[in-house]
Amino acid sequence: MLDLQTTIGKTISISGEGLHTGTSCTMTFKPAPDNHGIKFVRTDLGDNLEIPALAEYVVDISRGTTLGIGDTKVFTVEHVLAAVAGLQIDNVRIELDGIEPPIADGSSKPFVDKLLEAGIVKQKEPKDYLIIDEMIKYHNEEEGVDIVALPLDGFRMTVMVDYNNPALGSQHTGLFDLEKEFITEFAPTRTFCFLSEVETLADQGLIKGGNLENAVVIVDHEVKENELQDLSKKLGLEGEITVGASGFLNENNLRFRNEPVRHKLLDMIGDLALIGAPIKAQILAARPGHKSNVEFAKKIRKLYLQKQIEKKYQHVKKEGVVFDTVAIQKILPHRYPFLLVDKIIDLELGKKVIGIKSVTANEPFFPGHFPGRPIMPGVLIIESLAQTGGIMMLNSVPNPEEKLVVFMGIDKAKFRRHVVPCDQLILEAELVSQRDRFVVIKAKAKIGNKVAAEAELKAAIIDRE
């Protein structure tokens, strides 16, 4: 049975102050049609500009995940996205009359409660799962972050944190069943930070909506009574601040023994919603944060976009083939006798591509180049490289089927070996740079492991008329 997409049953709102800006905001969840996705709209700006909850629209990750287009931004969206993704809602319009969603109690539970109150309804289109079929890794040596996605017919997450702090210690947690565990075990977990971070953020004019009810504050240095009083004034808190014996301000009772690491997992669910599709994978993460989460989401989203394009053009899966000749003719406008790439065997959109051209005795250019000594013209080898490189640029512009990749220049061209009948050209192209619709591609044509020709190609992506 197919899993169907979902949305909510009715419009519902929640109001409150934003964590960093302290500004009031009413956030309204609205039903959305099939294949709409998750989109934010700033109604206070009047232009109804939709900001898709996708990794390419992340504009800041310094103290949370901020989405934006131009000057239109929505701060700190991760708890909202975690609620939507954790409930496996595919399509929803989220309207805000301010720049930042309410912080509520610092967790996703208030949003989860509202969405459940609105009701979750199934739609007609199937969910578009991204199935991870090979290991994907992210590593940041400087920050000690490692995240891995492994193949799994389902969804699991395991997270570990270790900040070398006695109050926090080393913590780990795992989510093994989203439907059974998310609402009760992870949605209620609150944001946390260290006391030194609170002081710095307060000095920067941030966390104006933060208090000891919506955040767990971990004491990470010795602190004097007058320092706590100063902090209380900066944050505009009422009542006395104390350092508890367990190392938390005001002995704020944890909702779970390992609430901090559970909240890290919650944040990660929200940030991974930026992939734009539910995934089937096992996620293992050590010391993740918003920066690493978003970088990892970008990496997986790139894979998702590539698989979408592969499904669009290559209807029949073939071992070791990304695009066969039939698929290539849906992508390129070239036809006999000028289609000079037979298949694509490896592709990283916007990065590199490998194609194959099998050179036969029946090529139309051999009778005239040269009679009795057939040699493939060097200019046609370059053309075959250019066609291969053009396929690599499929996702660089909207509606690629309406575009052409045309030559602007050829530099550093060298021809090192004759190409003759029965040779198989391995066509390798790698993107060097791209500015708007102008690209530079480094390309090589090889026979086995020996280079037959190479060049640096300059091209423009133009409208097909």
What residues are paired with 449 via a beta bridge?
none
Q: Please check whether residue 210 is in contact with residue 237, taking contact to mean a CB–CB distance below 8 angstroms.
A: no
At 304, the amino acid letter reads Y
Q: Please check whether residue 283 is in contact with residue 148, taking contact to mean a CB–CB distance below 8 angstroms.
A: yes
CA 36 to chain centre: 17
419: tokens are: 């190409």
Q: Kindly give, in sequence order, each residue whose CB lies less than 8 Å from that of residue 114, ignoring residues fewer than 6 positions away.
A: 12, 13, 14, 29
Cα 58 to Cα 53, 290, 294, 400, distances in angstroms:
8, 11, 8, 24
**Rounded distance between C-alpha atoms, residue 62 and residue 75, angstroms:** 11
At 65, the amino acid letter reads T
369: tokens are: 């180049």
At 317, the amino acid letter reads K
**Rounded distance between C-alpha atoms, residue 455 and residue 458, angstroms:** 10
CA 151 to chain centre: 18
Q: Please check whether residue 107 is in contact with residue 191, taking contact to mean a CB–CB distance below 8 angstroms.
A: yes
DSSP of 110-125? HHHHHHHHH-EEEEEE
| Residue tagged active-site, from 36, 172, 334, 369 | 369
Q: Please check whether residue 130 is in contact with residue 300, taking contact to mean a CB–CB distance below 8 angstroms.
A: yes
Question: Does residue 290 carry a catalytic annotation?
Answer: yes
Helix axes 259-272, 290-313, angle to 10 degrees: 30
| Residue tagged active-site, from 221, 290, 315, 418 | 290
Alpha helices in 236-289 (DSSP H): 259-272
At 218, the amino acid letter reads I
**Rounded distance between C-alpha atoms, residue 44 and residue 356, angstroms:** 54
Question: Does residue 315 carry a catalytic annotation?
Answer: no
* Residue carrying the six token digits 């004759």: 418
Catalogue the active-site residues.
290, 369
